[in-house]
Amino acid sequence: MRHLRVLSTYRRIDTGHIRIEADEISYPLHVILRYRIELALLSGDLTIADLPGAWSDLSQALLGRRPPTHTTLPCTPEAVHKAGLSVVFLATPADVSMELAPSILAAGARVVDLSGAFRLRTPDAYAAWYKEPHTQPDLLAEAVYGLPEFCRSRILSARLLSNPGCYPTAANLAIRPLIEAGVIDRSCGIVCDAKSGVSGAGRKPSPTTSFCEVTENFSAYSILKHRHVPEVLMNSGLEESEFSFTAHLLPVNRGILETIYLRTVNVSSIERILEIYLDRYRDERFVRMYPPGTVPDLFSVTHTNYCDIGFGFDAASGRLTVVAAIDNLVKGAAGQAIQNLNILLGCDESEALL
């Protein structure tokens, strides 16, 4: 029998010297103490003289706030209804999500699905890219795509929310503002050269993601048939013939970096490109723009829910290169799911993420 893990909500702890975020409280005590105290010492918020008192205060605060053991329930509509669950996350394979979602919704809970089961709009599109039939076409039509920066108004009232794929999250955040502004020469096509850490392949063991295959190596995969491509097309408005996407496997644990090559029209300066992005993302908490001519790297975003975007532009030729970076496990998966949860429940969008 499948089971649900039920978590309570914990607020941050602040002892004056050090702040512990809500999502850290379930970590082992010694890990939190060492990590946060090291950060405070490095930042200057804590001195060596403060250390004994800070250690004692923080230990006592955490010991008083340790969460109970996770409650485990049968993954059945009866258990969902009896527990009064508001939202259920499905971090399951697509076929399992299709099996579980209808009964969970019928039990009165909303669903945030992290698989690819409900990301595309039609059963035919799903069958074409996932190479298997879709068993819940009615729910596929109802599902809301959960890219908050572009779908926030629809997320608010969604019963079934489909968390975006990692590659499309970075690609759409980088490309869509330029498409909307009409400054891309689509006849020249767009090339997206994307690289991901090994965790992007999931936990299922395979020869291609084993240590000996990945370390000291770099490889492309799913050429011209990656199932994340239709998500980019669906949300950017591009046609498949206008978008070339190739995914690569990096010998690192986590992180996605996408380098996107475009040709512009009617753009005379690099400042115009920056203006387009700032107009679109000025009020977005989790998109950070870099100064023109500078670009992000993986270290800038790992363990965060940010998407960092930078670019270079040559006005004479109209060539534009955009670099977008995210953590595939956070903004590309669990962090974005929490961001969507916050929207669904009417919470501050950054709750438990900043």
Which residue, among 275, 321, 316, has the nearest Cα to 294 in the 3D structure?
Answer: 321
Amino acid present at 162:
S
Active-site annotation holds for 166: yes
Which residue, among 116, 110, 56, has the nearest Cα to 80 in the 3D structure?
Answer: 110
Catalytic residue, from 75, 151, 166, 192: name it: 166
| CA distances in angstroms from 69 to 26, 29, 31, listed in the order given | 9, 15, 18
Amino acid present at 345:
L
- Give the Cα separation of 245 and 202 in Å (integer): 20
- Give the Cα separation of 111 and 187 in Å (integer): 39
| CA distances in angstroms from 348 to 84, 195, 207, 344, 345, listed in the order given | 22, 31, 42, 10, 9
| CA distances in angstroms from 50 to 29, 38, 45, 60, 230, listed in the order given | 19, 13, 10, 16, 54
Q: Tell me the catalytic residues.
A: 166
